[in-house]
Amino acid sequence: MKKDLDRLLEIADSAAGRISDWIEANDPIFLTSHLDADGLTAAGIMASALTRRNTPFHLRIVRQLDQVYLNEIAKDDSQRFIFCDLGSGQLPLIEDALGSSEIVILDHHPPGKEDVPSHIRQVNPHEYGFDATYEISGAGVSYLVARHLGGSNGDLAGLAVVGALGDIQDRGKQHDFVGLNKEIIIEDAIASGVVDRSIDMRIFGRETRPIHIALQYSSDPYIPGISNDPEGALNFLADLGIELREDEQWRTIASLAKEEKRKLNSELVTYMLKHNIPPREAQSLVGVVFTMVQEEKGSYLRDARMFSTLLNSTGRSNQGGIGVAICMGDRKNMLRKAETILKEYREQLALGLQWLTDDPEAIQKLQLIQTFHAKDRIPDTIVGSIAGMALNARILDWSKPVIAFVYSRDGRVKVSGRTIRRIVEAGADLGKAMKEASAEIGSGSEGGGHNIAAGATIPRGQEDQFLKIIQRILRKQLGRMKEVTSQPEESANEETIK
């Protein structure tokens, strides 16, 4: 399908028109969004736009849209619903549960084939030829609508940048954006004076943390012997002869002299190559960074990627309301609470990684995939993050998608699938695989998501069957793939640190 930006913007405009009608009629509005960073920023964008129009609303943050939840909100006073960063994949469920209520869906997940009845207005870039898996996020779609809801909502594009990074849409050269994120979202965010784009070392806390701490926290890229290793990080820096303090103050990566920064970067790349990190990963140390220029230096919110990590931790800890409050401008209590949540969340991730490191037998290698079952060992909301980090950290084998299981709080099994871009480029689509496999398992199962990261929920006891089906689907998807090997990437014409 040819990309049709005019039609996408037209439908976004008409969705804004419908919401404006609700606002003017004083209809109570019920907003539902997803618990990850993209969903929370999407909620923050809509909630800010409604608040700026003095419109009260209900807000719920959910892990997934299911029958139980929809039946529950069907009983609410408000019969005007907005769904952000979810809904397109659950259209039949929504129609069933909410009858003829007026509904706006702002989503970027691949929609089903169903016809959309007129009481539902769906804004989904997939319908107009865009691949919204990487071109624009749920927050971005919400922004396209929000900017028509009031005169001065351009600043909300900053949140859409954070949301897109949360969904790992920085898939252009040097981790830049592509498509609508590049053409509209980042443009508006820069024009509104909320975001700055530059080339720098992509290390969290480069402006805020002592250098050795920043290195030690680096998980993308993962630096063996330095990430998660305080002593390793200190030794590496000592060998380089970089002074860690100046006048009793810890220095940061940002405060390094140009020559020092260049040296740190090139020595890190050399070190990573020596430790068998593929060139593409090692070179990804330098890339596009997005700075939230209105946030205080030293704040978690200053680096847009860090901002999204902070939000994600609130959602994954079932406290997404705190994340939305931060998106809406709270820089006091809620921010402090979120910082505590992030710390605990990090500890849980580290524990999960430690388990996989200490107990390699927990990881079962099958022909096309690898799998582990965390049972009750880790919270069901973070199993996907652990699987993704374990891939980055090479605790898991890069050449095979990982399918991870954990017992979910509702008595079923939560499944998370993660892979790397190279496998997707070879034809794998975990979102489709999860959806098809869940359908085949049948009642009590649902699944879907993106090609590179997807999830499902299935009944207990069906794990082995699920793995079998997933492998069969992947075999078909990867049919033309011979072998996935690591190959050096071209690196010509890349921008360098200024």
For Mn ion, the binding residues (CB under 5 A) are 38, 85, 137-138, 167
Enter the tokens of residue 209: 């943390």
- The dihedral formed by the CA atoms of 139, 144, 146 and 150, expressed in degrees to the nearest 10: 150
Which ranges in 407-462 belong to alpha helices (H)?
421-425, 430-441
CB-nearer residue toward Mn ion: 282 or 453: 453
Q: Residue 405: what are its φ and ψ, rounded to 5°? A: -115, 150
Q: Which of 416, 334, 339 is nearest to 379 (CA)?
A: 416
Enter the tokens of residue 479: 């049919």
Cα dihedral across residues 123, 124, 125, 128: positive or negative = negative
CB of 118 to Mn ion, least distance (A): 26
CB-nearer residue toward Mn ion: 37 or 396: 37
CB of 413 to Mn ion, least distance (A): 23
How distant, in Å, are the alpha carbons of 167, 201, 204, 215, 267 from that of 211?
Answer: 27, 12, 10, 6, 14
Cβ-contact 205, 314 below 8 angstroms:
no
CB-nearer residue toward Mn ion: 153 or 308: 308
CB-nearer residue toward Mn ion: 137 or 457: 137
CB-nearer residue toward Mn ion: 88 or 471: 88
CB of 61 to Mn ion, least distance (A): 13
| Residue sitting closest to Mn ion (CB) | 38
In whole angstroms, give the CA distance from residue 449 to residue 430: 7
CB of 45 to Mn ion, least distance (A): 13
CB-nearer residue toward Mn ion: 109 or 261: 109
CB-nearer residue toward Mn ion: 38 or 170: 38
**Residue 128: how many other CB atoms lie within 10 Å:** 19
CB-nearer residue toward Mn ion: 125 or 379: 125
Q: Which residues pair with 199 in a beta bridge?
A: 288
CB of 400 to Mn ion, least distance (A): 25
CB of 167 to Mn ion, least distance (A): 4
CB of 304 to Mn ion, least distance (A): 15
Q: Residue 207: what are its φ and ψ, rounded to 5°? A: -100, -15
CB of 83 to Mn ion, least distance (A): 12
How distant, in Å, are the alpha carbons of 40, 166, 267, 345 from that of 430?
Answer: 23, 18, 36, 25
